Amino acid sequence: MNIKNINLIIGREYSVRVKKKSFILTTILTPVLMAALIVVPSLVMLSGDGEHKSIIVIDNSHCVQPYFENSESTTYQFDTSGKNIDDLKAEFNDLDCYAIVGISDLDASGNATVVTYSKEPLSMELKSDIKKSVKSALEDRKLGGFNIENIQEIMASIETDVNVTALTIKEDGQEKEDSVEMYMAIAYILSFMIYMFVFLFGGMVMRGVIDEKSNRIIEVLVSSVQSIDLMMGKIIGVALVALTQFVIWIGLTAALVGGVSTVAGQSLLTKASALEEVADVPGMNSSADDIAAAAEVLQDEGIVSDIMTQLSELNIPYILGCFLIYFLLGYLLYAAMFAAVGAAVDNEADTQQLSLPITIPLILGLFIMLHTFQHPSSQLSFWASIIPFTSPMVMLARIPFGVVPAWQLILSIALLIITFIFTTYISAKIYKIGILMYGKKATFKDLFKWLKQKN
């Protein structure tokens, strides 16, 4: 291989791709979309729909009314005109209300049914509030029938919240608190990113080879450089494009999410602090809804604090380092095979048959990754993290759990490098012949013949 020629091809591939409008647009828009997916749902949940809803309730059970509580967005009005639910339903268009709620008479078991009428489907939150109010009323009425003194206090004292602290004993005997949920989230994100990027940028190499071959540019390039230099330069050039895009995505997404979260978080904390101060001042009473909102804000802040604490206990540089290693090696392994497929066909439509053996290990690794979340130390997870064609995804799913010994990690990386070198040698032989073959759709039999040909 000629290093000088490879460097020239790397520079060409990199400069041509980063200057494309599609690269610039996807590099800028993807972090915005990713940040929106993270931030917008939270903002929507916090803001609500902003519409005040008036609900008319007919309580034939005569026990539920005290359990309905008005809020900033909902007001419950109890009908005392003696009309039944059908009468109100017929007058719905003339009523200034969002929905009508009808609660039936109590049956022999002390149960009641609830029916609602509205012009549009009730939100899950409103439906849940109605169900919760009726459920609490009926349960309290049934408990009161036992004539047990202070039964409410007794039932309240029975309710128990159990917290389970999971500790792992390290080899040196020290204890470490675990957060399986956090490990699973990180493992899923990193493993799926490996799967997505290998597919995305490996396919980019394949399409680049097909385009140059169909435009006959490849003939000019091969007349100046060796085919192996051309293939390696193309693979490494696209890898640098991928790394550039990845770093920009991470930086912009973190900046956008951090900026919006800071602004929204400060606003919420200010509101919570103000409500706390009002509640503590003698003679001042804030509404129960406001105090509850403040409590929820403080609780959410506690959850965020717990998450940050759990993240701080993880070896983030080690995890990110492993991610970069497996991303690069996994990409190089599959990109060499994608390049060979691109060289063996004349158009992208003919790649499906030849690329199937490449995509199957990737998809298989994705499914094993899901198994690894629950069983990171199982035999299936171990072997899939060692076998080079699935190790980039499965090993990344095991690493956050801290169950990967150093020898397993070294063995996995070593096998991945050896397999990459061997696969590159095979792909280079196919690439060398395939890039100059036109007008015939290559088959697996043709590829086998090309591999047997001597240089």
Long-range contacts of 147-151 (CB under 8 A, 24+ apart): none
- Amino acid 284: pLDDT: 40
- Residue with the larger pLDDT of the pair 126 and 217: 126
pLDDT average, residue stretch 382-401: 90
Assign 76 a pLDDT band (cuts: 50, 70, 90): very high
Same-domain check for residues 183 and 133: no
% of the chain residues with pLDDT over 90: 13
pLDDT higher than threshold 70 for residue 288: no
Same-domain check for residues 208 and 69: no
Q: Is 28 a domain residue?
A: no
Q: Is 190 a domain residue?
A: yes
CA distances from 451 to 7, 49, 375, 424, 438 (A): 27, 64, 40, 12, 18
- Amino acid 411: pLDDT: 95
- Amino acid 216: pLDDT: 66
**From start to end of 327-386, where are the E strands?**
none
Same-domain check for residues 330 and 423: yes
Q: Decide: 85 and 58 in contact? Cβ < 8 Å.
A: yes
Residue 270: CB atoms within 10 A of its CB come to 11
Alpha carbons 431 and 344: distance in angstroms, whole number: 7
Alpha carbons 181 and 197: distance in angstroms, whole number: 24
Least confident range from 2-16, 56-70, 249-263: namely 249-263
Same-domain check for residues 193 and 331: yes
Retrieve residue 25's tokens: 């647009």
pLDDT average, residue stretch 250-259: 75
Q: Is 167 a domain residue?
A: no
- Amino acid 262: pLDDT: 67
- Amino acid 448: pLDDT: 78
Q: Which residue has tokens 């719905």?
A: 92
Domain final residue, candidates 123, 139, 155: 139
pLDDT average, residue stretch 426-438: 75
β-sheet bridge partners, residue 78:
57
Domain final residue, candidates 83, 115, 139: 139
Q: Is 14 a domain residue?
A: no
Same-domain check for residues 135 and 184: no
- Amino acid 417: pLDDT: 92
pLDDT higher than threshold 80 for residue 48: no
Its pTM stands at 0.64
Domain final residue, candidates 139, 155, 187: 139
Same-domain check for residues 120 and 200: no
Q: Is 347 a domain residue?
A: yes
Read off the pLDDT of residues 149-170 as tens digits, 9 standing for 90 and up: 887 788 778 888 777 766 667 6
Alpha carbons 324 and 338: distance in angstroms, whole number: 20
Q: Which residue has tokens 């309905």?
A: 68
- Amino acid 298: pLDDT: 43
- Amino acid 263: pLDDT: 62
Q: Is 171 a domain residue?
A: no
Q: Is 103 a domain residue?
A: yes
CATH number, domain at 119?
A: 3.40.190.10
Same-domain check for residues 385 and 434: yes
Structural domains in the chain (count):
2
Long-range contacts of 39-48 (CB under 8 A, 24+ apart): 39/256, 39/257, 39/260, 39/261, 39/264, 42/264, 43/260, 43/264, 46/264, 46/268, 48/73
Same-domain check for residues 229 and 104: no
Residues in the chain: 455
Same-domain check for residues 84 and 188: no
Least confident range from 22-26, 327-331, 405-409: namely 22-26
DSSP string spanning 213-242? HHTTHHHHHHTTS-HHHHHHHHHHHHHHHH
- Amino acid 24: pLDDT: 82
Same-domain check for residues 353 and 432: yes
Torsion angle of C-alpha atoms 183, 188, 193, 198, degrees rounded to 10: 110
Domain that holds residue 65: 53-139
- Amino acid 380: pLDDT: 92
Same-domain check for residues 249 and 330: yes
- Amino acid 285: pLDDT: 43
- Amino acid 44: pLDDT: 63
% of the chain residues with pLDDT over 70: 76
pLDDT higher than threshold 90 for residue 409: yes
Q: Is 352 a domain residue?
A: yes
Same-domain check for residues 82 and 185: no
